[in-house]
A and B are shown apart, each in its own frame.
Chain A
Amino acid sequence: MTTTTLARTAARVVDAVKVYGSGDTAVRALDGVSVDFPAGRFTAIMGPSGSGKSTLMHCAAGLDTLTSGAAHIGDTELGRLDDRRLTLLRRDRIGFVFQAFNLVPTLTVAENITLPLDLAGRRGDPEWIDALIDVVGLRDRLHHRPTELSGGQQQRVAVARAFAGRPEVVFADEPTGNLDSRSGGEVLGLLGRAARETERTVVMVTHDPVAAAHADEVVFLADGRLVDRMTAPTADKVLDRMKAFEVPS
């Protein structure tokens, strides 16, 4: 079983280049990155500030377009899609957890969870959603508004929403950036559990070695390039690897 999941990639980028601006002020945020995100695994993208990790995630998730190279979700090449198809792809095949402001304030917790499904006009799988609600532990908050929840609870709702439509990949952008370590730990544990128990692919951008340690594998980015990969990470190992970046070589 392990071999089959490893053989499939849920998302990948090939020779990804992203340039912001032009002329003298041009910044190469991504400088020829190629990386696969295997299906059914929890991958963390690490790197110092300005390493291009967020840009990589945005491009891989179809939120941003590459200057050159290609990004794939499953067998679909994102560069060929127009705005509408990209939107539909995000809606039907991808889940998102952002650092903050994940929820629509006018909708209740339950409505926020099913938002992508509602936008698609689908009913989704009630048993699946029911199970998700139990996993994130928010059954007693379903009819609350986001403003009535703590930051950690809000992020847990966002995680539930990301998984509600059974997406192929869930992208998380610094999901614990605004949380204290206890709530952060809860959210990360949740992401990992959701990935493993539901066999979903999760890609998380973070700069926090403790967060990265929850992943199955860590890819390291620096100056827009892929510099290393690490399986079975621990916080200490990741920290050591990160320290290496700061030493001028």
Chain B
Amino acid sequence: MNASVRLSASSLRAHKRRFAGTFVAVFLGVAFLAGTLVMGDTLRASFDNMFGNATSGTDAVVRSADAITTPGESEGVREPVAADLADTVEQVPGVAAAEPSIEGAGQLVGRDGDPIGGQGPPTLAGNWITDEKLNAYRLDEGRAPEKSGEVVVNRGTAERGDLSIGDTTTLRTPDPVKVTIVGLATFGGEDGMAQVTYTGMTRADAEKYLTARPGEAATILVRAGPGVSQQELVDRLTPALPQGVEAITGQESAEENTDMISGQFLSVFTTFLLVFSGVALLVATFSIHNTFAIVVAQRTRENALLRALGASRRQVTASTLVEATAVAVTASLAGLAGGIGIAAGLQALFPAIGFPFPEGDLVISGVSMALPLAVGVVVCLGSALLPAVRAGRTAPLAALRETAVDTSGASRARAITGLGLAALAVGITLNGVLVSPNIWLAGLGAVLALAAFVVLGPVASTTAIRILGGPLGRLRGVTGGLARRNALRSPKRTAATAGALMIGVAVVSLFTVFGASLKATMDQTVSRSFAGDVAVSAPSFGAGGSGLSPRLAEAVQDLPEVDTAVGLGRGVAEVDGKGRALTVTDPAALERTFDLGEIRGSLNDLGTTGIAITEKEADKHHLTTGDKTRLTFTDGSTQTFTVRAVYGQSELAGDYVITRSAWAPHRTQDADTLVAVSFADGVSTDAGKTAVEKAAADYGNPEVQTRDEYAQSSAGAIDMMLTLVYALLALAVLIALLGIANTLTLAIHERTRELGLLRAVGQTRSQLRAMVRWESVLVAAFGTTGGLALGAFLGWVLVKASDGASDSAFAFAMPPLQLLVVALVGLTAGALAGLRPAKRAARLDVLRAIATE
């Protein structure tokens, strides 16, 4: 064994405890990263497998060639094809069977009267395809629907709604339809396609409820005869198809579906988790660097002796690096095992919380093992590099120096560099946010701000701890004073220790501020542009839910308590080659329940050729009232509309408004997303709301909300997201805590003699414990304060940058209560981190401490 390796091996053995913190930090980061990758792979493979199984009988899919995709949606909207095209297709040689597939939204109501699903994953309804091989669902129990009103549902949905064969319930399409369950189905061998709900009805029912016009289908599914490959089938089908209709292989279709799921759900999910492992690893970097820096500082005497005895610089540096490598590799390997454990745990946990994680073995690819391992080792070695070089530079005669007060961190050069960076960061950010809104510039500013914080840390720590610790000396006497002085001893070390917590707190505050701003934005949107008294909305976001029946608005309008009820539907069309969402409504009524800002022209009498657009879109396309614009619909038809009105505020009403009659020829399944109601004069909110609720009960019982409730429910999704974010960030805070605890333990080791002296001259154990704990709290307070400041700044940048980048106005809000909670969590974390080191310090034997050489 060479000398460096032998030295580091013996050092590791001798100081197991010192490296425990580093080990745990690397372990957690790597485990999180590996777990995320393994889980992502496993999920993707499971979905592939499931779709492969489910659609293996479909050899080709016939559908409209063009799709219109609006911004923010991954799946385009396609025009339906004629259902009787199936008969034509069936005549093509090599086709064994062809059936139209009608697809739409349909939400089942469970036994307790609440709708099933709708919180994200789609709620699908369609015709039950009679050809077993073409149907992605397999009948598992009962029989196929034969009469109108009979349906098959997937087993998972039935279980969630506590429904079984023979039960009668309501299907919202969105018009409520009475249905009887006659069969239960599985998808690719599972109880369902993840959380997607599926209801299969007879073809006649499907045409009646799910399409705008009878005789239409979303696609035609084709099965090949014996000896005909999928590609051959497509080649034969293509000439037989009318203009604007295409055929793709079954495999391509399955891949598209998988991609869609991956794109919508998996990549968002895994990116999210990867970002958090990144944060965790960044925090870990601080902790690891700090540990090595302290270890090297403590070993100055030992290293000096080695150098005096003839060890070269390189040997001393190498021995530190070998030590780091040993820790990095063991911790990373353990982290890989931990990651697999996390993935396995989640696989077991998901079904327990009602999310059917597809079964199957964990997919552990080379990449998902090699990447975290590499990241773990690189992070660890990178963190140790500087301390190792410093170790090598130890002068042979630097031996008998007392480690006392090191103020090297607070150098003038550092202060100047840091301030320069900070000024640059603020300048770039302000420019990117206020002067010429540019998200990249703002991002660069944010990164620079982070760098400035790290560089300025040691300079700021001295001032900050003097201020933060000021009251401590007065409140806690000499114990507090000593804690404060100890925290001031090594500004660099204090800053690095606090830095880990600072980043954790900064990210938490960033999300808190951003979430609060989103909520404020919604609140502001609703209060500014919603002039009605109550809103009826289907409780859904994402692709789920079936919307509201267009007849609901009419029914509510007929109530004596109601002045105006206006339903808002959604359509799509291409304007200048780009997909745009259209608001389909009664424009005249819209004006009465929404504040549209300043209106030029008139919203009355848009008819079938008139359109109203927002000022912003009008400016973009250089349009004004009286001008003409062309819209291309999914059916490929292009129609010229005359701009009849230009209005100021788009928030709830959307950018383009057309009438129902103008949309009718192009519509697919008919649904409103929102019905806004304003009451007649003299009707109280309670009375009006009760009346509307009564009327809505016949339409699948959607939720009726007052203005405030409506604004709050829009914010509910944000709270859910924030909860998830906080749960993930708890990991980063945990690593930061370990870092503080580790630094303190090492510092106590360093100060053994001093602690012994204090005990000898009369410091009681509890005073000593309090002193260590307060030091910990002070360091945490510094990290928390810095984190709050940085997080609030970055939150502001994010909000302002989003404001500049998006069409709608973004409000900025600082939630004082939540930020106070974050601050308290940070301080409590500090107090907790100090507990163990304080206990260890208090156990110290006075005599031995004095005698320590």
Interface residues of A (CB under 8 A from B): 58, 63-64, 83-84, 87-88, 90-92, 96, 98, 101-107, 111, 115-116, 118-121, 145-147, 161
Given contacts A105-B405, A118-B477, contact A58 B758 (CB under 8 A): no
Given contacts A91-B762, A116-B761, A118-B478, contact A63 B486 (CB under 8 A): no
Tell me which residues across on chain B come within 8 A of A101, comparing CB atoms.
402, 753-754, 757, 850
How far does the alpha carbon of A103 sit from the alpha carbon of B761 in the complex, in Å?
Answer: 10
Tell me which residues across on chain B come within 8 A of A63, comparing CB atoms.
760, 846-847, 850
User: Number of B residues contacting the other chain (C-beta, 8 Å)?
Assistant: 27
- Of chain B, the residue at the smallest CB distance from A162 is B761
Given contacts A63-B846, A64-B847, A101-B754, contact A106 B482 (CB under 8 A): yes
How far does the alpha carbon of A161 sit from the alpha carbon of B477 in the complex, in Å?
Answer: 18
B762 touches which one: A107, A120, A146 (CB < 8 A)?
A120
How far does the alpha carbon of A121 sit from the alpha carbon of B767 in the complex, in Å?
Answer: 11
CB <8 Å contact, A147 and B402: yes
Given contacts A87-B762, A91-B762, A107-B485, contact A147 B404 (CB under 8 A): yes
CB <8 Å contact, A119 and B767: yes
CB <8 Å contact, B758 and A104: yes
Tell me which residues across on chain A come within 8 A of B757, comparing CB atoms.
98, 101-104
Label chain A's interface by main secondary structure.
helix
Given contacts A87-B759, A88-B762, A88-B764, contact A104 B405 (CB under 8 A): no
* B390 interface residue (CB < 8 Å to A): no
CB <8 Å contact, A96 and B761: yes
A87 touches which one: B402, B764, B847 (CB < 8 A)?
B764
Given contacts A96-B760, A98-B757, A106-B489, contact A58 B404 (CB under 8 A): no
The 10 closest A-B pairs by CB, nearest first: A91-B762, A106-B485, A118-B478, A105-B404, A116-B762, A87-B764, A116-B761, A119-B762, A101-B753, A90-B762
- Of chain B, the residue at the smallest CB distance from A93 is B762
Of the A-B pairs whose beta carbons lie under 8 Å apart in the complex, a sample of 10, sorted by A's number, is A64-B847, A83-B765, A87-B764, A91-B762, A91-B763, A91-B764, A101-B753, A101-B757, A104-B482, A118-B478
- Of chain A, the residue at the smallest CB distance from B852 is A101
How far does the alpha carbon of A161 sit from the alpha carbon of B758 in the complex, in Å?
Answer: 12
Tell me which residues across on chain A come within 8 A of B846, comparing CB atoms.
63
Label chain B's interface by main secondary structure.
helix
How far does the alpha carbon of A116 sit from the alpha carbon of B405 in the complex, in Å?
Answer: 22
How far does the alpha carbon of A88 sit from the alpha carbon of B764 in the complex, in Å?
Answer: 7
Interface-central residue, A63, A104, A118, by most chain B CB under 10 Å = A104
Tell me which residues across on chain B come within 8 A of A116, comparing CB atoms.
761-762
Tell me which residues across on chain A come within 8 A of B481, comparing CB atoms.
111, 118
How far does the alpha carbon of A116 sit from the alpha carbon of B489 in the complex, in Å?
Answer: 21
Tell me which residues across on chain B come within 8 A of A107, comparing CB atoms.
482, 485
Tell me which residues across on chain B come within 8 A of A103, comparing CB atoms.
757
* B134 interface residue (CB < 8 Å to A): no
Q: In residues 608-635 of chain B, which contact A (Cβ within 8 Å)?
A: none
How far does the alpha carbon of A58 sit from the alpha carbon of B849 in the complex, in Å?
Answer: 13
How far does the alpha carbon of A102 sit from the alpha carbon of B486 in the complex, in Å?
Answer: 17
- Say how far A113's CB is from chain B's closest CB, in angstroms: 11
* B488 interface residue (CB < 8 Å to A): yes
- Say how far B297's CB is from chain A's closest CB, in angstroms: 15
- Of chain A, the residue at the smallest CB distance from B487 is A106
B483-514 interface code vs A (CB 8 A; 1 in, 0 out): 00110110000000000000000000000000
How far does the alpha carbon of A106 sit from the alpha carbon of B623 in the complex, in Å?
Answer: 73
How far does the alpha carbon of A102 sit from the alpha carbon of B758 in the complex, in Å?
Answer: 9
- Of chain A, the residue at the smallest CB distance from B756 is A101
CB <8 Å contact, A98 and B850: yes
How far does the alpha carbon of A212 sit from the alpha carbon of B482 in the complex, in Å?
Answer: 36
Q: In residues 730-764 of chain B, which contact A (Cβ within 8 Å)?
A: 753-754, 757-764
A84 touches which one: B488, B760, B765 (CB < 8 A)?
B765
- Of chain A, the residue at the smallest CB distance from B758 is A104
Extra 10 A-B pairs, beta carbons < 8 Å, given A88-B762, A119-B764: A63-B846, A63-B850, A87-B763, A96-B761, A104-B482, A105-B402, A105-B754, A106-B489, A115-B761, A147-B402
Tell me which residues across on chain B come within 8 A of A58, comparing CB atoms.
847
How far does the alpha carbon of A118 sit from the alpha carbon of B405 in the complex, in Å?
Answer: 22
- Of chain B, the residue at the smallest CB distance from A121 is B477
How far does the alpha carbon of A58 sit from the alpha carbon of B761 in the complex, in Å?
Answer: 13
Tell me which residues across on chain A come within 8 A of B759, comparing CB atoms.
87
Tell me which residues across on chain A come within 8 A of B850, comparing CB atoms.
63, 98, 101
A91 touches which one: B485, B486, B488, B761 (CB < 8 A)?
B761
- Of chain B, the residue at the smallest CB distance from A89 is B762
Given contacts A64-B847, A87-B759, contact A106 B765 (CB under 8 A): no
A106 touches which one: B486, B762, B764 (CB < 8 A)?
B486
Tell me which residues across on chain B come within 8 A of A88, comparing CB atoms.
762, 764
A90 touches which one: B404, B489, B761 (CB < 8 A)?
B761
Tell me which residues across on chain B come within 8 A of A96, comparing CB atoms.
760-761
- Say how far A104's CB is from chain B's closest CB, in angstroms: 6
Tell me which residues across on chain B come within 8 A of A146, comparing CB atoms.
404
- Of chain B, the residue at the smallest CB distance from A64 is B847
- Of chain A, the residue at the smallest CB distance from B851 is A54
A161 touches which one: B402, B482, B761, B767 (CB < 8 A)?
B761
Tell me which residues across on chain B come within 8 A of A102, comparing CB atoms.
757
Given contacts A105-B402, A106-B488, contact A87 B765 (CB under 8 A): yes
- Say how far B625's CB is from chain A's closest CB, in angstroms: 76
